Structure 1
Amino acid sequence: MDTQLFIEGNILTGRDAPPSHYLFKIESFSLLSKAPLPKYTSNQFDAGGYKWKLSLYPSGDKQKDGEGFISIYLALTETSSFSSGWDVNVVFNFFILDQLQNKYIVVQEWIERRYHAMKTEWGITKFIDLEMFHNPLKGYLIDDTCVFGAEVFVVKSTFKGERLSMVKEPTTYFYTWKVSNFSTLSSDQYHYSMSFGDQKWQFGFNPRGVGEGKGSYISLYLFIPASSIPDSTKLFVNFILRVKDQMNGKDFLFQSTFIMCTQIF
């Protein structure tokens, strides 16, 4: 059975059933409130497929103007394995046990909160007034013992974004491709070199040209197989293509810089 109370402008609902996801019983609360640590963090618990912890400030979170209250927060843990751009949208609420009526009281503010890499903790700085909490007629603190709880419901989660990793001293590869019997090569297809380098680069060319260069130029390309690097990877590449002048030593050079995707370039 649910009951409703009206305390200091907030509608509070009391119910018989305990919180679904976590109960946090504190014995000797007075000793905890006098301890030098400003907060106590609970053990880890599971809810909605994620790992969570409760943080309780028995004398209030003074950095957020919570002095005179109990402050309570819900933190999402073990996020290091999440891909970049992740977020988790959550609806949660906190409970405190009225031990006189044996009912779990919750402030009715079921607001959706977004957890992400820059914000892994949400909560209520002024969860309950300490004067009210210590009032024996309220039943929140009996024999120096109190009980808090939490329910956590994941609305949706998304993982999107990308990671940029730059190499300070990238490897430079040199490769020479000698093409024999050039005049006999078919112009209906590309011709490929052997692969070279860790990413298995290849040269490819058409002896009669393709596209705008068809019939007037040699078309020369640098390729990388899509299987050589992970999906959706981009490579920043600085390269030089050289056609050797075997008579006078005046080689023809083409130098460029591109950001390449995991396709043929």
Structure 2
Amino acid sequence: MLYKAQKAGKQSMQKDHRNMEEHLQSSAAKFFAINMTSLNFDEQDGILRTISDAPPTHYTIKIQSLSLLSKHSLEKYESGEFEAGGYKWKLVFYPNGNKRRNVTEHISLNLVLAGANGPQTCWEVHAAFRLFLLDQNTGTYFALQEQNERRFHGMKLDWGFDKFLSLKAFTDASNGFVVEDTCVFGAEVLVRKERSTCKGECLSMIKDAIMYKHVWKIDNFSKLNAESYDSQTFIAGDQKWKIKLYPMGRDGAASGHLSLYLALADPTSLPPTSKIYAQYTLRLLNQDYSSSNREYKVSWWFSASSPMQGWPRFITVTWFKTTSHRFLLNDSCTVEAEVTVHGTASALE
């Protein structure tokens, strides 16, 4: 869940945001452009590089014994959480570049939207931010800021700068970024807007899905006089199922037939938007193996609104009771269900 600041301090926080936004908008009066040539910066479209006399508003990281990060193969350092704009954030520093993005010969610095359990996939936070690096020779801060705000959400929690600064410029003592094996980073975050877009679904397919079999022996068939009968509940793909039999057909159109269905045993336990994709076979066994079984196979999306699927005319009662076909033997028959759950769909959370 996204961390939300308590409402009691909301007005004060909004005032701070307005002040920060005015500060950003008047940057021309408060910042001066860095000499790009002197530090050999890579040209990156949409990135504003500035120098600030003021320290970062929201968070500062001081890293001592910087060289030991590489010595101990520490690819990144993730800061503790800090609050800005009513949300929790972290800074992530990659001393040799973000290897997941194939960055080399640079340091990388990212801002991450944090939270105890992570934010909802369908929740968005739009934020502008600046990330800082202290020049310890002058006491000023080199800062990078994207011209456009970024959208943080459950599937994209981090934004930042893969090539924040070249390693050559970063480690050059004359630049003052690393002094006595120590460097200082910081962050400012301005949340401009937030919104929930919780309309959608997530489909999860199951790799190497397992087939489950359930066997249902029905005795005293001649005494079945109810409209329908259910097998015992069984589990397949973490769902509860049952076989449903209509001895004389499910409705008038199926009169004179056995109707056979696979059904969710407890469809009311499913959220209204959840669905289960299952491939299944229903089989009426020939009990002395003298002839073929009667079976049908299909795939179907089961849900609370569509909890049952099968065949209203699975077999005629006459054919079923014919002695030579051996489906009904000693007034008993056996039905099998083979169920494989291949996927589930549910609402985004």
**Same fold per superposition (TM over 0.5):** yes
Judged with a 3 Å threshold, the aligned counterparts in structure 2 of structure 1 residues 114 and 25 are, in CA distance, closer, same or farther, namely same
Judged with a 3 Å threshold, the aligned counterparts in structure 2 of structure 1 residues 254 and 165 are, in CA distance, closer, same or farther, namely same
Judged with a 3 Å threshold, the aligned counterparts in structure 2 of structure 1 residues 45 and 201 are, in CA distance, closer, same or farther, namely same
Matched, 1:238 2:276: no
Post-superposition shift, 1:170? 2.9
Supply the RMSD in Å over aligned alpha carbons. Answer: 4.8
Matched, 1:193 2:230: yes
Post-superposition shift, 1:224? 2.2
* CA displacement 1:78-97 (0-9 Å, x = unmatched): 99x77997897664431123
Judged with a 3 Å threshold, the aligned counterparts in structure 2 of structure 1 residues 55 and 162 are, in CA distance, closer, same or farther, namely same
Post-superposition shift, 1:175? 0.4
Post-superposition shift, 1:223? 2.1
Post-superposition shift, 1:215? 4.4
Judged with a 3 Å threshold, the aligned counterparts in structure 2 of structure 1 residues 46 and 191 are, in CA distance, closer, same or farther, namely farther
SS in 1 for 2:218: coil
SS in 2 for 1:16: coil
Paired residue for 1:107, among 139, 144, 151? Answer: 144
Post-superposition shift, 1:4? 0.9
TM-score (norm 1): 0.63
SS in 2 for 1:18: coil
Following superposition of structure 1 onto structure 2, how do residues 82-101 of structure 1 map, counting pairs within 5 Å?
A: 91=127, 92-99=129-136
Post-superposition shift, 1:37? 4.5
Post-superposition shift, 1:23? 1.6
Following superposition of structure 1 onto structure 2, how do residues 217-256 of structure 1 map, counting pairs within 5 Å?
A: 217-227=257-267, 231=271, 232-242=274-284, 253-256=294-297
Residue 42 of structure 2 corresponds to which residue in structure 1? none
Question: CA separation in 1, counterparts of 2:277 and 2:140?
Answer: 60
Question: CA separation in 2, counterparts of 1:173 and 1:100?
Answer: 76
* CA displacement 1:195-216 (0-9 Å, x = unmatched): 24233413132625427x2445
Matched, 1:128 2:165: yes
Question: CA separation in 2, counterparts of 1:132 and 1:174?
Answer: 70
Matched, 1:71 2:113: no
Question: CA separation in 2, counterparts of 1:243 and 1:66?
Answer: 65
Q: Which amino acid aligns with 1:56?
A: Y
Question: CA separation in 1, counterparts of 2:293 and 2:163?
Answer: 74
Q: Which moved more, 1:85-94 or 1:48-57?
A: 85-94
Residue 92 of structure 2 corresponds to which residue in structure 1? 54
Post-superposition shift, 1:161? 1.8
Q: Which amino acid aligns with 2:54?
A: D
Question: Which segments of 5 or more consecutive residues in structure 1 lack a partner in the other structure?
Answer: none
Post-superposition shift, 1:149? 1.3
Paired residue for 1:14, among 52, 67, 74? Answer: 52
Judged with a 3 Å threshold, the aligned counterparts in structure 2 of structure 1 residues 55 and 215 are, in CA distance, closer, same or farther, namely same
* CA displacement 1:165-211 (0-9 Å, x = unmatched): 356553311102344445x65xxxx4223424233413132625427
Question: CA separation in 1, counterparts of 2:161 and 2:250?
Answer: 69
Q: Which amino acid aligns with 1:14?
A: S
CA contact (8 A) 1:87 1:158 kept: yes
* CA displacement 1:239-260 (0-9 Å, x = unmatched): 2242889xxx878723223234
Q: Which amino acid aligns with 2:265?
A: P
Question: Which segments of 5 or more consecutive residues in structure 2 lack a partner in the other structure?
Answer: 1-22, 37-47, 310-349
Residue 41 of structure 1 corresponds to which residue in structure 2? 77
Paired residue for 1:162, among 172, 192, 203? Answer: 203
Judged with a 3 Å threshold, the aligned counterparts in structure 2 of structure 1 residues 28 and 139 are, in CA distance, closer, same or farther, namely same
Matched, 1:175 2:216: yes
TM-score (norm 2): 0.51
SS in 2 for 1:195: coil
Residue 185 of structure 2 corresponds to which residue in structure 1? 148
Q: Which amino acid aligns with 2:300?
A: I
Question: CA separation in 2, counterparts of 1:34 and 1:209?
Answer: 71
